[in-house]
C-alpha cells in the first residue's frame, strides 16, 4: 500500500509537469498573452519585445511633426518633398526639450528662407513655430511654440552607446506617416561625416541600420529605455541601411548657447585628420597607436600659425591624451575661440609641444 501511495504521488507530480509544459507549448496559448498594459513590476523582467514597445510608447509623446509650405520661387531645404506633398512643401520631425514649447530639430529642416513653419503635436494640434537658434556646423536648430504642459523627451547618454545595441528611429516618414517607428542597431560610432562641402568634418556621428526616410530628419533615435540618444539626420544613398544620427550629448552641449545667443561660437583649428586605429596604424606603418594623424593644414589657419604640419600626429591636448574615447575634435570643442592650448606633437620620431591659439569657426 505504501509503495502504491509513493507511485501515485510521483505520477501526480509527473502529470502536473506534463500539463504545465503543454500549456506553454501548445500553439496559440502564448500568442494570446496580451502585451498591454505594459507596467514594469518589481522582480519581473519584461521580454525584449515588451521593453521595446514600452520604450517607443514613452518617447512618442515627445515627438512632433514640422511642416512648412514655401512661397513660389523660394529655395527649399534638403527635406523638401516633391512626391506625395503639395508643391514646395517641407516636412521634418522634432522632439520636445521643455514643457513650455522648446523643440529640437535639424537645421536643414528649417533652413529655407521666407517659410512659415508649423509644429503638429501627436494629438494633431498645430502651432506656429519660431526659430530660436541654429547651429549650421552640427546641423542643429531650436524652435519654439506657444504651448504649455508638453512632455519633454528623456535625454540619454550617447557616450554610453555600444555597437550592436538596439535602437529605434521615430519620425514623420515621407511627410505623411506621422510617428513611424523603425528598429535597428547601432552599427557604428564616431563616424566622420562631411556635411559642410569641404569644410570641417564632424567625427562623432552614430551610424544605424534603423531605416531613416525623408521626413525623419530631426526625429529622435532612442534606446531600449525610451531615452533619446541621437537625432536622426542623414541617409547615405550610396549604400543600404546606412543612416546617421547626431549624438544627443552634442546637442546637449549646444542648447545653452542657442537659447542665449541664437548661435554657437566654435573654436576652429583648421586641419583635416584621421583618428588612429589599428588598421590605419598598419597602413601608415606608424609607431604610435593613439592620436590624430594630420592629413592637411589650411593655409592661414590657427593650426598653420601654430606650426602644425601634414603627417604630424597630435597625441595630447593640454595633457589629455587623445584616443578613441577622447578624439581631437571632441577635445577642441571643450575650449573657446581665442584660447591658447598646448598640443603634444609627434614628428619625425620626436615628441614636442606647440602652443596654438584657436580661431573661430565661420
Structural domain contains residue 201? yes
Where residue 130 sits, what CATH number does that domain have?
2.40.10.10
The question of whether 326 is a catalytic residue gets the answer no
Residues spanned by the domain of 218: 158-261
Average pLDDT over residues 160-189: 89
Structural domain contains residue 127? yes
The verdict on 300 and 337 lying in the same domain is yes
Where residue 273 sits, what CATH number does that domain have?
2.30.42.10
Quick one: pLDDT at residue 77? 52
Q: With bands split at pLDDT 50, 70 and 90, how would you rate the model's confidence at 126?
A: very high
Quick one: pLDDT at residue 362? 73
| Grid cell locating 3 | 509503495
Structural domain contains residue 43? no
pLDDT in tens, 211-228: 888 889 999 999 999 999
C-beta separation of 261 from 133 below 8 A:
yes
The verdict on 75 and 163 lying in the same domain is no
The verdict on 163 and 257 lying in the same domain is yes
Quick one: pLDDT at residue 88? 52
Quick one: pLDDT at residue 251? 94
The verdict on 199 and 168 lying in the same domain is yes
User: In this predicted model, which residue has the larger pLDDT, 324 or 259?
Assistant: 259
The verdict on 252 and 166 lying in the same domain is yes
pLDDT in tens, 187-206: 988 887 755 444 445 667 89
Domain boundary, last residue among 99, 122, 144: 144
The verdict on 128 and 167 lying in the same domain is no
The verdict on 73 and 133 lying in the same domain is yes
The kind and range of the H/E element at 342 are strand 340-347
Structural domain contains residue 193? yes
Quick one: pLDDT at residue 115? 86
The question of whether 157 is a catalytic residue gets the answer no
Structural domain contains residue 196? yes
Average pLDDT over residues 58-76: 78
User: In this predicted model, which residue has the larger pLDDT, 177 or 305?
Assistant: 305
C-alpha span between 175 and 173 (Å, rounded): 5
The verdict on 337 and 252 lying in the same domain is no
Marked catalytic residue, from 139, 209, 312, 329 = 139
- Evaluate if residue 74 carries a pLDDT over 80: no
C-beta separation of 170 from 183 below 8 A:
no
The verdict on 63 and 122 lying in the same domain is yes
Q: What percent of the chain has pLDDT over 70?
A: 79
Structural domain contains residue 185? yes
C-alpha span between 208 and 163 (Å, rounded): 9
Marked catalytic residue, from 62, 108, 112, 158 = 108
Quick one: pLDDT at residue 100? 95
The verdict on 248 and 282 lying in the same domain is no
Structural domain contains residue 38? no
Structural domain contains residue 103? yes
Quick one: pLDDT at residue 15? 43
For the chain, the distance separating the N- and C-terminal CA atoms, rounded to the nearest angstrom, is 96
C-alpha span between 246 and 206 (Å, rounded): 6
Average pLDDT over residues 89-107: 93
Marked catalytic residue, from 209, 217, 312, 329 = 217
Say how many C-beta atoms besides its own lie within 10 A of residue 157's C-beta: 13
Q: Among the ranges 44-48, 122-126, 312-316, which has the highest mean pLDDT value?
A: 312-316
Domain boundary, last residue among 194, 229, 261: 261
The verdict on 109 and 86 lying in the same domain is yes
Domain boundary, last residue among 144, 167, 192: 144
Q: With bands split at pLDDT 50, 70 and 90, how would you rate the model's confidence at 25?
A: very low
The question of whether 217 is a catalytic residue gets the answer yes
Average pLDDT over residues 316-329: 88
Angstrom CA distances, 334 to 69, 241, 316, stand at 39, 33, 14
Number of domains in the chain: 3
Of the ranges 12-21, 44-53, 191-200, 324-333, which one carries the lowest mean pLDDT score? 12-21
The verdict on 77 and 100 lying in the same domain is yes
Amino acid at each position: 500500500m505504501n509503495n502504491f501511495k509513493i507511485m501515485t504521488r510521483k505520477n501526480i507530480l509527473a502529470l502536473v509537469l506534463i500539463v504545465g509544459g503543454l500549456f506553454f507549448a501548445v500553439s496559440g496559448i502564448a500568442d494570446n498573452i496580451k502585451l498591454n498594459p505594459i507596467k514594469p513590476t518589481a522582480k519581473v523582467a519584461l521580454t525584449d519585445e515588451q521593453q521595446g514597445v514600452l520604450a517607443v510608447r514613452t518617447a512618442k509623446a515627445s515627438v512632433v511633426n514640422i511642416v512648412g509650405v514655401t512661397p513660389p520661387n523660394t529655395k527649399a531645404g534638403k527635406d523638401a518633398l516633391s512626391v506625395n506633398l503639395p508643391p514646395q512643401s517641407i516636412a521634418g520631425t522634432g522632439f520636445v526639450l521643455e514643457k513650455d514649447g522648446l523643440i529640437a530639430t535639424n537645421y536643414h529642416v528649417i533652413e529655407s528662407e521666407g517659410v512659415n513653419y508649423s509644429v503638429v503635436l501627436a494629438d494633431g494640434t498645430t502651432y506656429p513655430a519660431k526659430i530660436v537658434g541654429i547651429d549650421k556646423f552640427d546641423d542643429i536648430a531650436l524652435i519654439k511654440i506657444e504651448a504649455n504642459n508638453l512632455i519633454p523627451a528623456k535625454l540619454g547618454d550617447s557616450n554610453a552607446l555600444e555597437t550592436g545595441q538596439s535602437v529605434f528611429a521615430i519620425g514623420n516618414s515621407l511627410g505623411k506617416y506621422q510617428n513611424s517607428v523603425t528598429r535597428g542597431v547601432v552599427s557604428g560610432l564616431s563616424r566622420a561625416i562631411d556635411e559642410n562641402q569641404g569644410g570641417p568634418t564632424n567625427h562623432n556621428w552614430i551610424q544605424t541600420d534603423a531605416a531613416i526616410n525623408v521626413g525623419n530628419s530631426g526625429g529622435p533615435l532612442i534606446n531600449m529605455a525610451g531615452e533619446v540618444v541621437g537625432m536622426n539626420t542623414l541617409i547615405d544613398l550610396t549604400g543600404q541601411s546606412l543612416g546617421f544620427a547626431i549624438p544627443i550629448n552634442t546637442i546637449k552641449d549646444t542648447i545653452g548657447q542657442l537659447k542665449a545667443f541664437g548661435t554657437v561660437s566654435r573654436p576652429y583649428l583648421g586641419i583635416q585628420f584621421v583618428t588612429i586605429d589599428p588598421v590605419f596604424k598598419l597602413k601608415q606603418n606608424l609607431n604610435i597607436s593613439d592620436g590624430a594623424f594630420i592629413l592637411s593644414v589650411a593655409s592661414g589657419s590657427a593650426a598653420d600659425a601654430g606650426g602644425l604640419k601634414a603627417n604630424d600626429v597630435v597625441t595630447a591636448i593640454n595633457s589629455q591624451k587623445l584616443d578613441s574615447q577622447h578624439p581631437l575634435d571632441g577635445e577642441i570643442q571643450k575650449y573657446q575661440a581665442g584660447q591658447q592650448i598646448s598640443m603634444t606633437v609627434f614628428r619625425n620620431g620626436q615628441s614636442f609641444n606647440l602652443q596654438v591659439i584657436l580661431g573661430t569657426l565661420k
